[in-house]
Amino acid sequence: MKFKTREVHAGVSPDPVTGAILTPIYQSTTYVQESVESYMSKGYSYSRSGNPTVSALEERIRSLEGGAGCACFGTGMAATTAVMMALLNAGEHAVVSDVVYGGTHRLSTRVLNRFGIEFSFVDTSRPDTVRAALRDNTRLLFTETPANPTLKLTDIAAVSGIAREREIPHAVDNTFLTPAYQRPLELGADLSVHSTTKYMDGHNQTVGGAVVAASREHDEAIKFVRNCLGSNMSPMVAFLTLQGCKTLSTRLDAQSAGALEVASFLETHPMVEAVCYPGLDSFPQRDLADGQASGHGAMLWFEVKGGVESGRRLMNTLELWSLAENLGSVESLVTHSVTMTHADMAPEERQRVGITDGLVRLSVGLEDPEDLIADLRQALDRL
């Protein structure tokens, strides 16, 4: 079946007892077993280990990414944590993109490092830099592309090739483009990681995460860690995310079209210093953007003239755009990465990787782009 059909139907069939078209919210802690001998014969024992509503969402996301298995989590960070804890032991080393979601950086440098795991944050947009960062004890390559918030891209096929040569798994955080536009496993990656909080939910209703594995072995290892950590998704979140997934590519298409309009407008405004959007001709990695993804997404950033003070005034003056942490929702959001999503990164490290103090991140929603542009214009005109 085609992608859009799977978005609506994968993992779900009418309830055999009632005919309900939607998989119910199985709000049950435990599952009554028929006998000791037939323990788990219906597939479930306790909702930390597995839940039927969560299984339906896992099957949908697995189908959209084209993997062997999928595990859903209570948050995107729980998904990333499970990947790292399943694949890394004390004394081992991971290579991570130098621009990643701030929480991934914080998890590596403030938590997992305390358990004897080493991390190198390198420019994964350059395969030669990735190769040079490998050590004898490297056991994981973790990239994020497009990266939050700079939108720097990593060539998934090239880095997966390096990983394969060394028999090291390559995990890709695919939150920004989702399988609607980018399918890392088809490009050779081993794991695709998501904050489902973002585009899969799409409506600012939930926090959740998912890991799709290309192999059954990785899927089982991740589900084992999830059960140990107790980080499974709740059935209510799975139910809402199942509804969000039905319109994933339709929303993304409309939001991406809006993002191109917004980015094109910003390029023309005299108070704008710089604009970055993968769909603009000025995007430095435009060929890679077109080559490994089927769309450019709905995230962009810009800098205003007048530095941090102007940026601050602009964000406080916007009316239709909400100043908020999160992205990917139908509501358009504006975020100041330095004070919000990447506040825990050392200022000099942020500067080094291009997360400047004046960077204004936009997540374009489903509102009419004309209204979004009018709001940006009134705020920019007042600077």
Ligand X SMILES: Cc1ncc(COP(=O)(O)O)c(C=O)c1O
Catalytic residues: 48, 101, 173, 198
Closest CB to ligand X among residues 47, 231: 231
Q: By Cβ distance, which residue is nearest to ligand X?
A: 76
Whichever of 95 and 380 has its CB closer to ligand X, that residue is 95
Please give the distance of CA 284 from its chain centroid, rounded to a whole number: 22
Using an 8 Å Cβ cutoff, are 189 and 144 in contact?
no
Minimum distance between the CB of residue 381 and ligand X, rounded to whole angstroms?
31
Told to check if 234 binds ligand X by CB under 6 A, we report no
Contact call for residues 364 and 332 (beta carbons, < 8 A): yes
* Distance of alpha carbon 125 from alpha carbon 98, whole angstroms: 9
* Residue 56, CA distances (Å) to 72, 84, 235, 365 in order: 10, 25, 10, 27
Instruction: Please name the residues in contact with 95: beta carbons below 8 A apart, sequence gap of 6 or more.
Output: 119, 120, 122, 124, 130, 133, 134, 138, 140, 141, 142
- Sign of the torsion formed by the C-alpha atoms of 248, 253, 258 and 260: positive
Give the residue from 285, 314, 287 showing the smallest Cα distance to 375. 314
CB of 326 to ligand X, least distance (A): 7
Q: Choose one: 74-82, 132-140, 294-302, 314-322; the region binding ligand X (CB under 6 A).
A: 74-82
Q: How many residues bind ligand X (CB under 6 A)?
A: 13
Shortest distance (Å) from residue 174 CB to ligand X: 9
Checking DSSP bridges between strand 138-144 and strand 93-97, what pairing results, if any?
parallel
For residues 123 to 152, the per-residue mask of contacts with ligand X, x marking binding by CB under 6 A and - elsewhere, is ---------------------x---x----
Beta carbon of residue 298, minimum distance to ligand X (angstroms, whole number): 13
- Binding window for ligand X (CB under 6 A); candidates: 6-14, 70-78, 117-125, 250-258: 70-78
Residue 103 makes contact with ligand X by CB under 6 A: yes
Q: Does 81 bind ligand X (CB under 6 A)?
A: no
Task: Please state, in angstroms and rounded to a whole number, the distance separating the CA atoms of residues 11 and 383.
Answer: 50
Q: Which residues bind ligand X (CB under 6 A)?
A: 75-77, 101, 103, 144, 148, 173, 175, 195, 197, 207, 209
